[in-house]
A and B are shown apart, each in its own frame.
Chain A
Amino acid sequence: MFHLSQMDQIFLKSLADVVRTSRTTSQYDKLTFTTQTIADIKNELQSRQESVRYQALLKLFFLAMEGNNIRWAEFQIINLMGSGDFQLKLGAQLAAHLVIDNQSQGLIMVTNVFIKEFKSSHIECSSTLSCLGTIANKDLSDSLLSHVLKLTTNTKPLIRKKAIAVLSKIFTINPLNIPGNLEMVIQQLQKETNISVLACGISLFCSIMKVAPKLYPLFLSIVYDQISKQKSNWLLIKLVRISNKLISLEPRFQGKLIEHYTRLLNQTNSKSLQYELIYSIMRHFKNHSQLYESAGDILKQFLNHQDPNLRCLGLECLTHISTSVGLMEFQEQILESFKKSDYFSKLQILQLFKDFTNQNNFQTVIEFFLKYSDMESNDKIIESLIFIITKDKFINVDDPEKLLLVYIPIIAQKIDSIDNAIRFKELLFELLTRVPGLKVYSDQLCNQILQTYATQSDSLQGPTLNIVKRHTQLKYSLNHREIIFKSLIMIVGESVKLLKLEALTNIIKFLEQLNILNCYESSLSDIDSLLFKIYIQIIKSDPENQIIPQMEQLIKNIYTKLHNISIVKISFFYESLIQIKSRDQLQQLYNLFEEDLPPINLEAQKLIKPPEGLDINKSFQIDISEIEKIKNTNSDYIEQKQLIQQQQQIEQNQGEQQDQNSEIQIKVENEEELKPLNNKIDQNANKIFIINRDEELPPGINQDDINKFKEEE
């Protein structure tokens, strides 16, 4: 320790100087400034003059608030806590929480310091108790418990209330200290008249309820006693809160509180107390209609209030109404409140409706949320709506047709996230599986949603793929529009047999648009498989062959635009025509078969050499007489092949029939309704080719297959 000379004292920096310098120092010079200041502080802390040490302590405190580490000064600060000068002591106690933590070694030294301070004047004792309340740990609590208990009987209310508040912390840290000591405190509180001390006592009981709830009988009477006579709102709030916890442990206590709650609810204007009462009544007093109604009236005031805080708290109370009937009373106020609420309150409201929507308010709820969704909450609203629709296997839905044709397109338009797109897809699949009669509307649904996407200018700018960088690799994931597009394509594909000719041709025309094909590049295989199904269905259901020529051109256009001309795929179209149409019908379509086939591609010729003697520039087209010749030689082969195919078709149909029957009953009615459409399948398909069984078999057919079939026959 040293004594600063008068000259040195002149140049000593005060706290104000350090603060000013710190505010004006640039970031680059901050480190230099801090290092210099800490060096000065270390010197000053060793000074004999208390004023110098006090200033050093305050400067150290300031540096700690600036983010500097001052744990090196732990010993000095603890030393100063035991100083004779009150100013130094107070400064050290304020700074203690910055250097002392649960694991500090210095806490051992603090015990004796505190014991000494507890015997000092009430102001010193008070500041010591405040410090103890901040830094107490298990060892310190155990050492000082008896001293703090003595202070609860002090003549000064300031000391008594702080002592009880510190006891609350001690009992929370080590609940083993409670038995034996709590009774003494309760005895003191029963005689207590000071409101602050009583409030601290109630807080003590709340802390004990968290760690040792079974001790509640010890303070049940004191809580009831206070709640019946207290007028201070602050204390009443604490009493109502602890009563709430006591009711769940001792239900008989509920009956005793009705009268007091009714009185308080009618008399008080304090919103905090009203909120606490409503919260308790909504949870525990549902059977008491009068009290419940009074609380409900005040709750409605909260929901309609201009203050967003009160609206939010009103919604919080509503979460404790466990029945949808109960919630329906407040529906109007809640929906009005939604329009004015912030994001978190909107989430609260959505959660309420997720739990309590039923058939009666389903349409109101859906229409409201679709109308009032905004950018911030749109995602959560859509998620909640999908949840409400699919809840308990569509238990809330009484009009699936309206849902599919009115609400679902609007929901699809509002979706802007992948998670919601996946949920939407699952919703559609589940809805159409459970109500298969709706499949008839799949083309309308598809058109409605996709037309909107096509007309939205922003939806066609750039690809629909999101490039996601994971680690060092670029990976592609579909965005929400493409997910919905794929699901719609799949649904239409499943429903092709139920759709009319006009609907099918419209779908092809829609898909022909180049902007659609460019936009949904990763769904080209899905578009492909849909087109297969559509034109098979058209071929089957166009008896007058009016649409087939147009369709042929459309298909060629699509495959051209897909830049992926596959002869196999186009040839499958012609093969299907030949298989499904009768000879007379094919005659009408002869124009389709007149076109010259292009020669073998040069690139293909490099990989597979054409057979010798084959003129690759000559057309493949064969005369009808040639076809007749081949037909006669291969007629048996063709007949056998057809029989095998029919057998396979029958088995497949039986399997499908069993699956459908086990799921839903409505399907049967819909099939009756749609029979006329399905009956357009040609029943009189004639054989074209026959197999020659005596001669060598043509390639591609196995003798074992034929033998097997003969045995089965």
Chain B
Amino acid sequence: MIRFILLQNRQGKTRLSKWYVYYDDAEKIKLQNEVHRLIVCRDTKHTNFLEFRNYKIIYKRYAGLFFALCVDVSDNELTMLEFIHLYVEVLDKYFGNVCELDIVFNFNKAYSIFDEMIVGGEIIETSKQVIINAVKNIELLD
């Protein structure tokens, strides 16, 4: 199960955060700082997963943004890495050559895409086309 997802830039500013387990506000800020501190200093030769408290952090860096997932210990790391890549591809297809500013000004759309891919901390869809269609159907109703 995915416990939370964070999108942070190199300065530690959180662009998107989605929490699937309850944490209070102070704990959320603490977690964001801790995760950023852990992943920002890692080299490319390091693995993309590391132990964090009783869970795992799986992260990947795209340009200036770190996509980090906190998952249970029993979850498959490679699947989560592929999920991160899928999300980035969906964003890229939706926004067309996506950059950090697209996420800053259209965060609500980025959250909508999350909701089409994950419900209750479990991945529910992995087909790019199905996800894009669902998001576009929502836009039609807007």
Interface residues of A (CB under 8 A from B): 15-16, 19, 23, 58, 61-62, 65, 67, 69, 86-87, 90-91, 94, 97, 101-102, 121, 123-124, 126-127, 129-131, 133-134, 136, 158, 161-162, 165-166, 168-169, 196, 199-200, 203, 207, 234, 237, 241, 271-272, 275-276, 308-309, 311-313, 340, 342-345
List B contacts of A343 (CB < 8 A).
46
Chain B 110-129 interface 0/1 with A at a Cβ cutoff of 8 Å (1 = within): 01100110011111111100
CA distance A133 to B43 in the complex (A): 36
Known contacts being A101-B22, A158-B134, A161-B124, is A342 close to B115, with CB within 8 Å? no
Known contacts being A67-B29, A97-B19, A312-B47, is A275 close to B14, with CB within 8 Å? no
Instruction: Tell me if B9 is interfacial: C-beta within 8 Å of chain A.
Output: no
Cβ B138 vs Cβ A127 within 8 A: yes
CA distance A158 to B1 in the complex (A): 20
Main SS of chain A's interface residues? helix
Cβ B142 vs Cβ A86 within 8 A: yes
CA distance A62 to B14 in the complex (A): 11
Given A65-B16, A87-B142, 17 further pairs, Cβ under 8 A: A65-B107, A69-B25, A101-B22, A121-B141, A123-B137, A126-B134, A162-B119, A199-B123, A199-B124, A234-B79, A237-B79, A241-B76, A308-B45, A309-B49, A309-B81, A313-B77, A344-B50
List A contacts of B17 (CB < 8 A).
65
Instruction: Tell me if B74 is interfacial: C-beta within 8 Å of chain A.
Output: yes
List A contacts of B22 (CB < 8 A).
101-102
List A contacts of B130 (CB < 8 A).
196
Q: What is the chain B residue whose CB lies nearest that of A342?
A: B46
Chain B 41-60 interface 0/1 with A at a Cβ cutoff of 8 Å (1 = within): 01101111111000000000
Min CB distance A400 to B, Å, is: 37
**What is the total number of residues of chain B having a CB less than 8 Å from a CB of chain A?**
51
List A contacts of B43 (CB < 8 A).
342
Cβ A309 vs Cβ B47 within 8 A: yes
List B contacts of A121 (CB < 8 A).
141
Q: What is the chain A residue whose CB lies nearest that of B82?
A: A272
Q: What is the chain B residue whose CB lies nearest that of A245?
A: B74
Cβ A196 vs Cβ B127 within 8 A: yes
Known contacts being A94-B112, A234-B126, is A308 close to B47, with CB within 8 Å? yes
List B contacts of A234 (CB < 8 A).
79, 126
Known contacts being A94-B115, A241-B74, A241-B76, is A166 close to B120, with CB within 8 Å? yes
Most chain B CB neighbours (cut-off 10 Å) among A130, A272, A344, A345: A130
Known contacts being A272-B76, A313-B78, is A162 close to B45, with CB within 8 Å? no
CA distance A329 to B134 in the complex (A): 50
List A contacts of B111 (CB < 8 A).
94
CA distance A422 to B126 in the complex (A): 53
Interface residues of B (CB under 8 A from A): 1, 14-20, 22, 24-25, 29, 42-43, 45-51, 74, 76-79, 81-82, 104-105, 107-108, 111-112, 115-116, 119-127, 130, 134, 137-138, 141-142
Cβ A165 vs Cβ B79 within 8 A: no
Known contacts being A61-B108, A94-B108, is A130 close to B115, with CB within 8 Å? yes
Min CB distance B137 to A, Å, is: 5
Cβ B122 vs Cβ A203 within 8 A: yes
Cβ B120 vs Cβ A196 within 8 A: no
Most chain B CB neighbours (cut-off 10 Å) among A129, A199, A309: A309
List A contacts of B46 (CB < 8 A).
308, 342-344
Known contacts being A94-B112, A158-B134, A344-B47, is A276 close to B76, with CB within 8 Å? yes
8 closest residue pairs by CB, A with B = A133-B120, A272-B78, A169-B120, A130-B115, A165-B119, A133-B119, A342-B46, A203-B122
Cβ B79 vs Cβ A90 within 8 A: no
List B contacts of A241 (CB < 8 A).
74, 76
List A contacts of B77 (CB < 8 A).
309, 313
Cβ B81 vs Cβ A342 within 8 A: no
List B contacts of A276 (CB < 8 A).
76
Cβ A58 vs Cβ B108 within 8 A: yes
Q: What is the chain A residue whose CB lies nearest that of B15?
A: A65
List B contacts of A134 (CB < 8 A).
18-20, 120
Q: What is the chain A residue whose CB lies nearest that of B111?
A: A94
Cβ B125 vs Cβ A123 within 8 A: no
List A contacts of B81 (CB < 8 A).
309
Cβ A162 vs Cβ B47 within 8 A: no
Q: What is the chain B residue whose CB lies nearest that of A162?
A: B119
Known contacts being A19-B104, A271-B78, is A129 close to B119, with CB within 8 Å? yes
List A contacts of B107 (CB < 8 A).
61-62, 65
Min CB distance B77 to A, Å, is: 7
CA distance A280 to B126 in the complex (A): 24
6 contacts between A and B (CB under 8 A): A23-B104, A130-B119, A133-B120, A199-B124, A241-B76, A309-B81
List A contacts of B142 (CB < 8 A).
86-87, 90
Cβ B119 vs Cβ A309 within 8 A: no
Cβ A196 vs Cβ B79 within 8 A: no
Contact among A86, A102, A158 with B141 in the assembled complex (CB-CB below 8 Å): A86
CA distance A136 to B43 in the complex (A): 39
List A contacts of B50 (CB < 8 A).
344
Most chain A CB neighbours (cut-off 10 Å) among B46, B51, B116: B46
CA distance A15 to B81 in the complex (A): 32
Cβ B105 vs Cβ A16 within 8 A: yes
Cβ B112 vs Cβ A90 within 8 A: yes
List B contacts of A102 (CB < 8 A).
22
Contact among B1, B19, B51, B126 with A344 in the assembled complex (CB-CB below 8 Å): B51
CA distance A15 to B106 in the complex (A): 9
CA distance A126 to B47 in the complex (A): 36
Min CB distance B102 to A, Å, is: 12
Cβ B141 vs Cβ A91 within 8 A: no
CA distance A343 to B42 in the complex (A): 10
Contact among A123, A168, A275 with B138 in the assembled complex (CB-CB below 8 Å): A123
Min CB distance B107 to A, Å, is: 7
CA distance A166 to B42 in the complex (A): 36
Min CB distance A446 to B, Å, is: 41
CA distance A99 to B108 in the complex (A): 16
List B contacts of A126 (CB < 8 A).
134
Known contacts being A61-B108, A123-B138, A165-B124, is A342 close to B45, with CB within 8 Å? yes
List A contacts of B105 (CB < 8 A).
15-16, 19
